């Protein structure tokens, strides 16, 4: 028995069997560091976790009991690949809440929003095909793009989201090189990781560009309903009418990520292929989870929990913004998100946030180094901070600890270079003060998008 | 059959690599018919070792605590025989600065270097000495944390402008950093294994990065990112000199059981020079010591068996 297990662990014996694409699936130093962030003593601002403690346990129990009483056998059975009709009707409601008009036969229920990214790549991407994404982009999409051997081109962003003018330049440049991207991947609203939102004008432009160039757009919108201030903006899907936009939604942030349920709405020919791809991947998404969703929408007002979550997250965002203003040195900048789960901070360029994470872990605090959001090594001095998954005292303490290690490095650098560090920032009186004027330069690299 | 505790994991940044080394050792122990117990090193380590004392502990830890002598001190304290080097050799090897001083004092070749603590910069004005140091070491300068066992925190500074940021990065891992002369040449590793006739050098391994940075941490542990030649294609006379230097370093640092000495074969002079020694080198599928042992006809289980014997011999002495 020992012998067979030994063989099973002996990677060399299998190395020659792996597909070429596994070369794109990398274990990394960063991942080794991230493994440490999960220790209980670490305040982790690294995750992208919603706070699931606000879903009352008795509610879960009551809904589970209804599932058992009403649909026990069906909930334990396989379901249709495209999802239960009642779930799709719930999705129609959720999408309508953001101004989108969709028919149930334009929907495919998936295993989390993440599966949509995977299925879209599986359906559209041959090795070497181009995907255009934002820079920074969702770190969870990076390994998916890698696994399908896509060539990812990242387009600069600013406080108003993706620079659509840069996108056009990028597309022109690619065209001159004889390359046509398969799709543009964007998180237009409360972007992960940058926290910024694409301005209305740019949304119109993007949809126009997509139509003119017959280019598909994957709109990833997990956070649209988690708006803490300002007026909602129409999703790209609403503007485009489902011609070129593939929409990705999820129950993870409005209900629970543990259900692993998301969906896509896509042009019918694309949807058909996505459905076939899904059949090969997992036949159907959790029937049990889908029945839970059905009961939840039948028995509860689904916007109640959302309202509670908005209240909690708004306070947490404000606490994090306050703490950043108090603890980060004057050379640092960060975004002020109007919704979602993340703040993106950028430190002086001589600080490498992957190295900084090693130092921060000794203070028992963690974040995502900015490099995780780029495929080309950029992002080295940025970090992603999550404010939804940690309570207010821990948020304050976590940012205090990050501030401590950053200040330490700023001081050291100033000593080494003989230049005085900027004076400490005067303490901000209110979150508004804290945010005023210090919003976002998402840093641009020499040499353009790539 | 012995009851062997395999110590792995721990809290160091090399935890994942250590877990892989530990798993491989455990498999080998089971093949050898031993009763292997995995211990993920944490606050209950001493309790676990004293409650049910194993016959011997196989230390498969890398990085802080495991490789720097801390765990070895504890093992001495609780009286459990353990594999590889004792506390003092571990301390010397894990602190590159201590190791290089010891090597230099003994007249063994190691690249020129200067080391500084944080306080040297903060309170003693060491920053003012940087230009002189850079002049003596020449560019590119290599900046390293003193104690990080993997390549984390190691930077090349091609010009004076890049030195401060490289130092800041290195201080993320340690309170002591080193500026070292960069040696251009072939990257070699010599694993040393003790035996009945004293330590013997295993065949030389050459690491040939595929179009990348020699200090790319990611490449070190990944199949396909670095090519390894074992035995390295060297003149017999060069091989002998490289192995001889590695054995000298092993002895000077006071290693026991096994260790791995990393060297450069300087392209300019043709001479080998010692970069560092690892008291507990990686034992994963992609690690260099197991490859070298294999090339010498020593299977991984045979290696593990020999190392266990050595632990018991030392304990009995």
Other Cβ atoms closer than 10 A to A27: 11
Give me the pLDDT at residue B130, please: 87
pLDDT in tens, B60-103: 999 877 788 999 999 999 999 999 999 999 999 999 999 999 99
Interface residue ranges in chain A relative to chain B, Cβ cutoff 8 Å: 1-3, 5-6, 9-12, 15, 23, 26-29, 31-33, 35-36, 39, 350-352, 355-356, 358-359, 361, 409, 411-413, 415-418
Smallest CA-to-CA distance from A145 within A343, A376, A442 is with A376
Shortest CA distance from A35: residue in chain B? B16
Among the partner-chain residues A10, A356, A358, the one whose CB lies closest to the CB of B285 is: A10
Shortest CA distance from A412: residue in chain B? B168
- Cβ–Cβ below 8 Å for B169 and A26: no
The span from the CA of B255 to the CA of B277, in Å, is 9
Q: What is the pTM assigned to this prediction?
A: 0.87
**What is the interface pTM, i.e. ipTM, of the complex?**
0.85
Catalytic residue from among B95, B174, B194, B262: B262
The span from the CA of A341 to the CA of A403, in Å, is 20
* A287 phi and psi angles, rounded to 5 deg: -65, -40
- Mind giving me the DSSP string for A215-264? -EEEEE-SSTT-B-SS-----HHHHHTTSSEEEEEESTTTT-GGG--EEE
The span from the CA of B104 to the CA of A98, in Å, is 70
Give me the pLDDT at residue A6, please: 43
- Cβ–Cβ below 8 Å for A32 and B31: no
Q: What's the average model confidence in pLDDT over B230-251? A: 97
pLDDT in tens, B259-273: 999 999 999 999 999
Catalytic residue from among B9, B10, B12, B14: B14
Q: What is the mean pLDDT of each run of 10 residues along chain A (450 residues)?
A: 44 69 66 72 91 90 96 95 98 98 97 98 96 96 93 96 97 96 98 97 98 97 97 97 96 95 96 97 97 96 95 98 97 96 97 94 94 90 96 98 97 89 53 42 39
Question: What is the nearest CA distance from A1 to chain B, expressed in angstroms?
Answer: 9
- Mind giving me the DSSP string for A38-57? TSTTSEE-------GGGS-H
Give me the pLDDT at residue B149, please: 65
Smallest CA-to-CA distance from B49 within B17, B85, B5 is with B5
pLDDT tier, B129 (very low <50, low <70, confident <90, very high otherwise): confident
The span from the CA of A349 to the CA of A102, in Å, is 45
Would you say residue B122 has pLDDT above 60?
yes
């Amino acid at each position: 028995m020992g012998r067979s297990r030994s063989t099973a662990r002996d990677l060399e014996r299998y190395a020659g069997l792996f597909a070429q694409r596994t070369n794109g699936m990398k274990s990394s130093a960063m991942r080794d560091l991230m493994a440490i962030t999960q220790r209980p003593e670490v305040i982790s601002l690294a995750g992208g976790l919603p706070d699931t403690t606000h879903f009352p346990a008795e509610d879960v129990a009551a809904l589970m009991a209804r599932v058992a009483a009403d649909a026990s056998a069906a909930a334990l059975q396989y379901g249709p690949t495209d999802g239960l009709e009642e779930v799709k009707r719930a999705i129609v409601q959720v999408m309508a809440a953001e101004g989108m008009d969709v028919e149930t036969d334009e929907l495919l229920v998936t295993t989390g929003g993440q599966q949509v990214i995977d299925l879209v790549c599986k359906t559209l991407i041959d090795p070497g095909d181009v995907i255009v994404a934002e820079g920074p982009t969702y770190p969870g999409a990076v390994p998916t793009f890698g696994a399908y051997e896509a060539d990812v081109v990242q387009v600069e962003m600013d406080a108003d989201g993706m620079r659509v003018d840069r996108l056009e330049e990028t597309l022109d440049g690619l065209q001159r090189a004889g390359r046509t991207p398969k799709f543009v991947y964007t998180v237009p609203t409360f972007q992960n990781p940058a926290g910024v939102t694409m301005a209305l004008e740019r949304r119109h432009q993007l949809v126009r560009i997509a139509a003119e160039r017959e280019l598909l757009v994957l709109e990833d919108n997990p956070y649209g309903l988690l708006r803490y201030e300002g007026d909602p903006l129409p999703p790209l899907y609403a503007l485009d009418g489902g011609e070129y936009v593939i929409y990705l939604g999820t129950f993870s942030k409005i209900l629970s990520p543990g259900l692993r349920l998301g969906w896509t709405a896509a042009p019918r020919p694309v949807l058909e292929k996505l459905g076939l791809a899904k059949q090969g991947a997992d036949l159907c998404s959790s029937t049990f989870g889908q029945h839970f969703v059905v009961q939840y929408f039948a028995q509860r007002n689904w916007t109640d929990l959302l309202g509670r979550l908005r209240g909690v997250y708004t306070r947490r965002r404000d606490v994090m913004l306050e703490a950043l203003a108090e603890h980060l040195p004057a050379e640092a900048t960060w975004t002020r998100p109007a919704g979602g789960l993340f703040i993106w901070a950028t430190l002086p360029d001589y600080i490498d946030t992957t190295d900084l994470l090693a130092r921060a872990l000794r203070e028992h605090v963690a974040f995502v180094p900015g490099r995780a959001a780029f495929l080309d090594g950029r992002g080295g001095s940025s970090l992603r901070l999550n404010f939804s998954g940690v309570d207010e005292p821990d948020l304050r303490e976590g940012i205090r600890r990050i501030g401590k290690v950053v200040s330490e490095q700023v001081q050291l650098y100033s000593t080494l270079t003989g230049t005085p560090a900027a004076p400490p920032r005067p303490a901000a009186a209110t979150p508004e003060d804290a945010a005023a004027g210090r919003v976002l330069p998402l840093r641009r690299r020499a040499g353009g998008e790539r | 059959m012995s009851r062997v505790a395999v110590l792995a994991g721990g809290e160091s940044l090399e935890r994942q690599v250590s877990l892989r080394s530990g798993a491989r050792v455990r498999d080998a122990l089971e093949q050898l018919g031993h009763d292997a117990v995995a211990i993920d090193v944490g606050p209950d380590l001493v309790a676990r070792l004293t409650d049910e004392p194993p016959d011997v502990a196989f230390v498969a830890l890398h990085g802080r605590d495991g490789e720097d002598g801390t765990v070895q001190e504890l093992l001495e304290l609780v009286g459990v025989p353990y594999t590889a080097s004792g506390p003092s050799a571990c301390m010397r090897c894990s602190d590159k600065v201590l190791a290089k001083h010891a090597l230099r004092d003994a007249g063994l070749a190691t690249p020129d270097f200067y080391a500084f603590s944080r306080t040297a910069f903060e309170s003693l004005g060491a920053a003012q000495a940087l230009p002189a140091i850079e002049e003596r070491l020449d560019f590119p300068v290599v900046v390293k944390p003193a104690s990080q066992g993997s390549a984390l925190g190691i930077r090349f500074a091609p010009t004076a402008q890049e030195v401060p940021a490289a130092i800041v990065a290195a201080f993320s891992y340690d309170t002591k950093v080193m500026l070292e002369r960069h040696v251009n040449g072939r990257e070699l590793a010599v694993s040393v294994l003790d035996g009945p006739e004293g330590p013997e050098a295993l065949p030389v391994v050459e690491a040939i990065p595929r179009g990348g940075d020699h200090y790319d941490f990611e490449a070190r542990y990944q199949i396909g990112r670095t090519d390894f030649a074992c035995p390295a294609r060297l003149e017999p006379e060069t091989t002998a000199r490289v192995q001889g230097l590695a054995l000298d370093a092993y002895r000077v640092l006071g290693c026991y059981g096994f260790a791995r000495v990393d060297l450069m074969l300087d392209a300019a002079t043709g001479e080998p020079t010692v970069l560092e020694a690892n008291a507990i080198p990686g034992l994963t599928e992609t690690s260099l010591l197991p490859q070298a042992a294999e090339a010498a006809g020593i299977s991984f289980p045979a290696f593990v068996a020999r190392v266990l014997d050595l632990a018991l011999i030392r304990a009995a002495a």
